[in-house]
């Protein structure tokens, strides 16, 4: 993170409501190139909606949003996106390597890399997510975790300025959680992409995260994990006593209200 570069993401006075339900209100935020930014919060707090705003799929109720100094548009070349997991139908007529290749061609309006370079780059991406072994397999016949690794490879293919990730580690085993999050981290800190990473669980990425946006109950807090993930801050946001324990580099949140289904500290 450095220099007087264009902000990767900028929100000013941003609010999003559905009917009387306010997800967040008056959010001013900039995310810099090379910043790893996590979006946390309980179910229904607005994490996916936040990504949908940046994807140009969800208009703000108030305020403005920009990616890379420009207004939001669908299908922006500057954005890579790992969607929340959905499985492909078993008969989907696409091989694993074709899916990853789409990430290279998708934005190029028909101008392809020459065939050899294309193949080499797809091989490289497949290897990065440990998918070489099923490169030729039809995607619909792969497991959820295998498909998710391909989506991660596809999103990185175009070297995006902003990488939006919606729970990208769901359904991955621990080994592949580590592999995929390390790959996203390299894209961020070595290739200077801004990463916006939606998750229920900060611990698998705790070593990489620069700042978090924590959404809960129509409120938000932005800061480093140490600033935001505290007993005082979260208790205030949930309006109920929540205990946050920092232990050996991990953050465990205890005593969340019943209505929330947070998973801090579980499932590892
Ligand atoms: N287009 C819409 N119209 C009306 N309500 C919506 C719309 N999109 C989202 N919502 C509501 O906004 C709230 C936030 O949804 P969102 O999917 O952003 O939450 P989330 O934090 O990603 O949740 P989860 O952790 O469960 O995935 C939910 O209550 C949802 O029903």
DSSP secondary structure of the chain: --SSPPPSEEEEEEEEEETTEEEEEEEEEEE-TT-EEEEE-STTSSHHHHHHHHTTSS--SEEEEEETTEE--TT-TTEEEEPSP-PPPTT---BHHHHHHHHHHTTSTT-PPPHHHHHHHHHHHHHHTT-GGGTTSBGGGS-HHHHHHHHHHHHHTT--SEEEEESTTTT--HHHHHHHHHHHHHHHHTT--EEEEE-S--GGGTTT-SEEEEEETTEEEEE-HHHHSSHHHHHHHHTS--EEEEETTEEEEE---TT----TT---
Q: Burial letters for 193-210: b for 16+ Cβ neighbours within 10 Å, e otherwise? A: bbbbbbbbbbbbbbebbb
Q: What angle do CA 215, 149, 78 make, to 5 degrees?
A: 65
256: CA distance to ligand 1 center in Å?
Answer: 20
Ligand 1: does its nearest atom lie under 6 Å from the Cβ of 46? yes
Q: Which of 14, 46, 166, 260 to mutate to test the pocket of ligand 1 (most atoms within 8 A of CB)?
A: 46
What are the tokens at 148?
Answer: 């998710």
Predicted confidence band of residue 263 (pLDDT cuts 50, 70, 90)? very low
Ligand 1: does its nearest atom lie under 6 Å from the Cβ of 44? yes
From 43, 32, 26, 31, select the one nearest 5 (Cα to Cα).
32
What are the tokens at 265?
Answer: 């500290």
From 41, 25, 74, 8, select the one nearest 198 (Cα to Cα).
41
Ligand 1: does its nearest atom lie under 6 Å from the Cβ of 45? yes
Ligand 1: does its nearest atom lie under 6 Å from the Cβ of 18? yes
pLDDT at residue 25, rounded to an integer: 94
Across the range 43-59, mean pLDDT stands at 93
Across the range 213-219, mean pLDDT stands at 93
Tell me what ipTM this predicted complex has: 0.96
Percent of the chain's residues with pLDDT above 70: 91
Contact 154, 130 (CB under 8 A): no
pLDDT at residue 215, rounded to an integer: 95
Ligand 1: does its nearest atom lie under 6 Å from the Cβ of 260? no
Residue nearest to atom 18 of ligand 1 (CA): 46
pTM: 0.89
Across the range 17-31, mean pLDDT stands at 94
Residue nearest to atom 26 of ligand 1 (CA): 43
43: CA distance to ligand 1 center in Å?
Answer: 8
Contact 154, 102 (CB under 8 A): yes
46: CA distance to ligand 1 center in Å?
Answer: 5
CA 259 to chain centre: 24
9: CA distance to ligand 1 center in Å?
Answer: 21
18: CA distance to ligand 1 center in Å?
Answer: 9
Between CA 261 and CA 52 the distance in angstroms is 22
What are the tokens at 244?
Answer: 């946050």
84: CA distance to ligand 1 center in Å?
Answer: 13
Ligand 1: does its nearest atom lie under 6 Å from the Cβ of 49? yes
Mean pLDDT of the chain: 88
pLDDT at residue 106, rounded to an integer: 61
Q: Which of 97-101, 163-167, 186-190, 254-258 has the least mean pLDDT? A: 254-258
Across the range 207-227, mean pLDDT stands at 95
Between CA 155 and CA 258 the distance in angstroms is 35
Q: Burial letters for 233-243: b for 16+ Cβ neighbours within 10 Å, e otherwise? A: bbeebbeeebe
């Amino acid at each position: 993170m450095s220099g007087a570069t264009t902000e990767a993401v900028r929100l000013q006075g941003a609010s999003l409501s559905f009917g009387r339900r306010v997800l967040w209100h008056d959010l001013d935020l900039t995310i810099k190139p090379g910043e790893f930014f996590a979006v946390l919060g309980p179910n229904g707090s607005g994490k996916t909606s936040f990504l949908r705003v940046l994807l140009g799929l969800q208009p703000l109720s108030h305020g403005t949003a920009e990616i890379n100094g420009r207004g939001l548009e669908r299908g922006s070349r500057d954005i890579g996106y790992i969607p929340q997991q959905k499985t492909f139908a078993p008969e989907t007529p696409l091989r694993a390597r074709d899916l990853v290749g789409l990430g290279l061609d998708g934005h190029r309006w028909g101008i392809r890399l020459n065939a050899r370079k294309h193949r080499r780059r797809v091989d490289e991406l497949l290897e990065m997510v440990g998918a070489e072994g099923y490169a030729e397999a039809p995607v619909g016949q792969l497991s959820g975790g295998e498909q998710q690794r391909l989506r991660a490879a596809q999103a990185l293919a175009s070297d995006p300025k902003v990488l939006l990730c919606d729970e990208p580690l769901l359904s991955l085993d621990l080994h592949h959680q580590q592999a995929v999050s390390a790959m996203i981290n390299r894209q961020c800190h070595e290739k200077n992409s801004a990463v916006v990473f939606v998750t229920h669980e900060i611990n698998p990425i705790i070593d990489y995260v620069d700042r978090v946006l924590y959404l809960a109950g129509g409120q938000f807090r932005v800061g480093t994990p140490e600033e935001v993930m505290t007993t005082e801050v979260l208790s205030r946001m949930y309006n109920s006593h929540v205990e946050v324990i920092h232990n050996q580099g991990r953050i465990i949140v205890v005593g969340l209200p019943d209505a929330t289904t947070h998973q801090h500290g579980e499932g590892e």
